[in-house]
Copies of this chain bind each other. A is one copy, B any other.
């Protein structure tokens, strides 16, 4: 951390803040220029994130050098993290495909989805049982009943399950039925929930908040990791901007950015980000070309009958085509799709 002070500051001003910082255990390197005094602060300056520098007279600016996260950083762990779940793995050479309906609606729907996805070689089933909805009047999901339906269908077809957890109390209810717990965009900074998820052993997929920076995403990962759970999967699902043609703006540059800053795997959600089914396939290919470790896609056996997000759901046939096209791009960037052996 670098402290910039006015060179016209009195010695008292400089001493006051210097003493305070030294008492907190930091070493200082002072360099007096004509216009500015520059003070290098040495030590774990993450502890100074909230130090009220600007309340001290003479202080002009404070410049951060160290990244505020640690366990999630590439400096801390050079090699990419590969998370193994059953016979799937996320973060390695193989690209993970997660697919399924926005929400579990009934036994038939989730059975049909699981069967279709399984035929397409998919290993991870997504589906919502507890749904976060902007309006209290929207369908809120089937809850525990939905969880059981999904779990049974998944078992029947040998699929792993990823589903969203919205509150601390739900962790114990959901964990027995899920292989990966998802934290939704609206809960990315629900820190109490993140802390609890740091105590479990199952992998957590953390979706980027609609207006969260890359740094905040990694800090939220750090909440989970510093609690003891290192199996964090990041997910880019679009940010909120002025553009309204798409539901959100898919920020794909984040994919190679995360690869530079962190060792954690990153998944892309082209369904929620674009909100338009005709954009899902091209953006899936783009995500893979950018270096994503996987995709999470809304697939419904009958989108016309979907109780939510029908506008962005693919049917099984379109999804089959997406897999074929995406596989070609995966090969072009030296990767392959996760255990996919298309049997259709």
Contact of A33 among B40, B68, B255, B331 (CB under 8 A): B40
Q: Give the residues in chain B near A291, CB-CB below 8 Å.
A: 282
Within 8 A of B (CB), among A316-344: 325, 328-329, 331-333
Compute how far the CA of A279 lies from the CA of B53 in the bound complex, rounded to whole angstroms. Answer: 18
Within 8 A of B (CB), among A236-292: 239-246, 249-257, 260, 273-274, 276, 278-279, 282-283, 285-291
Q: Is A213 an interface residue (CB 8 A)?
A: yes
Q: Give the residues in chain B near A328, CB-CB below 8 Å.
A: 332-333
Within 8 A of B (CB), among A129-153: 132-139
Compute how far the CA of A50 lies from the CA of B187 in the bound complex, rounded to whole angstroms. Answer: 21
Q: Is A83 an interface residue (CB 8 A)?
A: no
Interface string of A212-224 (1 = CB under 8 A from B): 0111100110110
Interface string of A297-312 (1 = CB under 8 A from B): 0000001111111110
Query: Residues of A within 8 Å of B, CB-based: how many?
Result: 108
Compute how far the CA of A249 lies from the CA of B236 in the bound complex, rounded to whole angstroms. Answer: 13
A40-B38, A135-B219 in contact; A252/B255 too (CB < 8 A)? no
Q: Is A169 an interface residue (CB 8 A)?
A: yes
Within 8 A of B (CB), among A1-49: 2, 4, 29, 31, 33-36, 38, 40, 42, 46-47, 49
> How many whole Å from A155's CB to the nearest CB in chain B?
28
A189-B132, A191-B133, A191-B166 in contact; A256/B279 too (CB < 8 A)? yes
Contact of A166 among B137, B192, B243, B313 (CB under 8 A): B192
Q: Is A193 an interface residue (CB 8 A)?
A: yes
Q: Give the residues in chain B near A310, CB-CB below 8 Å.
A: 50-55
A242-B242, A288-B289 in contact; A47/B333 too (CB < 8 A)? no
Q: Give the residues in chain B near A303, CB-CB below 8 Å.
A: 52, 55
Within 8 A of B (CB), among A102-121: none
| B33 and A245 contact, CB distance less than 8 A | no
Interface string of A52-80 (1 = CB under 8 A from B): 11111000110101001100000000000
Residue with the greatest number of chain B CB neighbours at <10 A, chosen from A137, A289, A304: A289
Besides A167-B192, A213-B244, 17 other CB < 8 A contacts? A46-B137, A50-B306, A52-B305, A52-B313, A55-B310, A61-B65, A63-B63, A134-B219, A134-B220, A166-B192, A168-B168, A169-B192, A213-B243, A242-B242, A286-B287, A289-B329, A328-B333
